[in-house]
Amino acid sequence: MSLTQWPSDVPRIAARDASGHKGTFGRVVIVGGCTQPPLVMVGGPALAALGALRSGCGLAELAMPSSLLVAGLTIAPSAVGHAIEVEGHGVPTARALAALADRAAGADVVVCGPGLGAKVGSIVRSIIASARRLVLDADALNAISSDAVPQPPSVVESEPELRTALRGRAPGTTVLTPHVGEAQRLARACGLDETASAAELAQALGAVVVLKSHETSIASATQAWSVRAGTSALATAGSGDVLAGIIAGLWAQHHECSAFDLARQAVCLHGLASVRWSASHGSAGLLAADLAALLPAELERWRLGGAPTMR
């Protein structure tokens, strides 16, 4: 199925409460960013925050290493900042992990992983244990699968423990958003063939899986669906971070909707925004921040009661 309009089998996004306030529309915490020399990664979590805010959540909070937080908030100034105190090599302190767990427990949805870097098993473990609803992306997925490839001696996390913790979460409370390479690593770590489908990964990990490629496949333990979810303009750095933010932003507002359907809604919204951009600009040159900026109009177009046409 190629995406040019809202698919009839995907529930429309619910109408917005006209009497609501920012507390009504939920709080998303995004955990990411990296200062592990020589790497510095700032954009991923900030773009996820833009995706969450542009999809209508009431409040987004960036939890990033303290030295990067101002840079992250410069990209996403409407977010609130939470500084993560780190030791040498970018590893969070015990006090920072405790504070992060408290923040995560109080959020409607947590996104963990954009630009997070390596040696982050302690952060991912803390978030898996504390978040009520959780979107795991990028380096959080790499932490979960990191024992599938040889690791340097400095990596001391017991990553199979992360997969056990992930499988122990309540059904329907976790969404994983791997691209093809991340999915291959997850499959190897789970003892599956590296070409494992989204459905096989969902069964193995006890989560909804959004397997991103030119055709995106979404699966839970009992359901599967796929769509050619937009144009090749989406093949740009940061577009996946925006998608993780959209999933979280919609989920923060619509707790009654299943994680499987929310993931499908987010993928459709993300893809249709790229169709809109490509209609004017072509197939290359899309910036992730531009994609996020297109979301409010596209969201309104595809809400319940909206006009299901491409103008």
**Where do the domains of the chain lie, and which CATH numbers do they carry?**
27-301 (3.40.1190.20)
- Residue 251 tokens read as 């989920």
Going by C-alpha positions, the residue among 310, 299, 236 that lies closest to residue 266 is: 299
Residues 16-54: tens digit of each pLDDT:
989 999 999 999 999 999 988 888 999 999 999 999 999
Q: Strands across the sheet with 59-65, in order?
A: 80-84, 59-65, 27-31, 109-112, 134-136, 174-176, 208-211, 216-219, 224-227
pLDDT of residue 132: 97
Query: 284 falls in which pLDDT band (50, 70, 90)?
Result: very high
Helix H segments across 107-231? 121-130, 139-145, 159-167, 180-189, 198-205
Residues 44-82: tens digit of each pLDDT:
999 999 999 999 999 999 999 999 999 999 999 999 999
For 112, left (φ over 0), alpha (ψ -120 to 50), or beta? beta
Average pLDDT of the chain to the nearest whole number: 92
User: Alpha-carbon Rg of the chain, whole angstroms?
Assistant: 18
